[in-house]
Structure formats: structure tokens, C-alpha cells
């Protein structure tokens, strides 16, 4: 299985422009624009997804929707609370195996530090590898048999600047 992990794009920060609940923080205009450019490069690179599984929090949902729209696969977009901030990576692995285990290419859209912790566990069996997922960053893992523990190989980890040449 090819497992892609995408951190949500730049979202509004709490402050004078945004004072709502954290779960409702939208992408900024700049974040949405960058994500559309990143998604276009992802598509041009030949990536494809059998499933896009996203955190339901607004900033991740908007990021996943941008990708799903560009890849014309809105019907393959699903949401799980296990990708929310503070979600359970072990429960996420169980959900993927139970519901989507036969798929060959899955994109997970979520948050930090959850995504880097998941990458760490899948690569090494522990959550403490020093990995940083930048906003709009994308990682590719290959997995023969998905389990919560050491089971993956890192193919690549790209920050948004590597997509956008900024």
C-alpha cells in the first residue's frame, strides 16, 4: 500500500482576524492558493488515490477538498475523527485495516504533531523520531502490511517549498 500523509495548508491563527473555535479555523486565502498549486503538482506527478481520508476539522477538510476537487475524486473523500488533533493513531490504523485494507493508495490529511508521530511509529515503532511536517507538506510511505508499529518504508518527505520552488 502507498500511504501518503498531507498536513493541512496554512490556516487562520487565533488573533484579531480569527477568534473562533480551533476546530473551525479556515484556510487563509494564501493557504488555499498554495494548496491548489501543490495539488496541481501532485496530479502532474502522476499521483492517484483510491481514498482521501481526512480529519473533519475545517482546515484539514478544506485542504482535502481542494485535492479531491482537483483529482476529480470527491466521491473518494471520507472523514475520520482519528485524524483530528489528539486523535488515536492506533485506532486510525485499525480503521484503515478494517474498512480500507484492500486499497493500494490512500492519502491521509491531518495535523501536527499527529502526522509526524504516525510516520515515526510506522517507520520505527516509536513516536519519538524527529520529523517535521510543514503546512502543505507531503510524505509517501510504502507499507506491505499496515500495523501500529514498524511496518513502513519512507519513500520521500517534501515540504511545500520543494513543490513550489520558493
Mean pLDDT of the chain, nearest integer: 94
Q: Would residue 125 be called left, alpha or beta, if left means φ above 0 and alpha means ψ between -120 and 50 degrees? A: left
Determine what percent of the chain is predicted with pLDDT higher than 90.
84
C-alpha to C-alpha distances, 4 to 20, 73, 155, nearest whole angstrom: 30, 16, 10
Lowest-confidence pick of 62-66, 71-75, 104-108, 157-161? 157-161
Domains of the chain in start order, with CATH, are 2-164 (3.40.50.1240)
The CA distance from 56 to 142, in Å, is 25
Mean pLDDT for the stretch of residues 43-48: 96
Q: How far apart are the first and last CA of the chain?
A: 31
pLDDT at residue 56 greater than cutoff 70: yes
Dihedrals phi, psi of 4, to nearest 5 degrees: -105, 140
Amino acid at each position: 500500500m502507498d500511504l501518503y500523509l498531507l498536513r493541512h495548508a496554512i490556516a487562520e491563527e487565533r488573533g484579531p482576524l480569527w477568534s473562533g473555535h480551533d476546530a473551525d479555523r479556515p484556510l487563509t486565502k494564501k493557504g488555499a492558493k498554495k494548496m491548489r498549486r501543490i495539488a496541481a503538482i501532485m496530479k502532474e506527478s502522476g499521483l492517484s488515490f483510491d481514498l482521501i481520508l481526512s480529519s473533519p476539522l475545517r482546515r484539514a477538510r478544506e485542504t482535502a477538498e481542494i485535492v479531491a476537487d482537483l483529482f476529480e475524486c470527491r466521491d473518494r473523500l471520507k472523514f475520520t475523527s482519528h485524524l483530528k488533533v489528539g486523535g488515536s493513531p492506533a485506532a486510525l490504523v485499525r480503521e484503515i485495516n478494517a474498512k480500507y485494507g484492500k486499497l493500494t493508495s490512500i492519502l491521509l490529511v491531518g495535523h501536527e504533531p499527529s502526522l509526524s508521530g504516525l510516520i515515526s511509529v510506522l517507520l520505527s515503532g516509536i513516536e519519538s523520531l524527529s520529523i517535521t511536517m510543514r503546512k502543505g507538506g507531503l510524505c509517501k510511505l510504502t507499507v506491505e502490511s499496515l500495523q501500529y508499529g514498524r511496518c513502513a518504508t519512507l519513500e520521500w518527505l517534501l515540504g511545500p517549498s520543494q513543490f513550489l520552488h520558493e
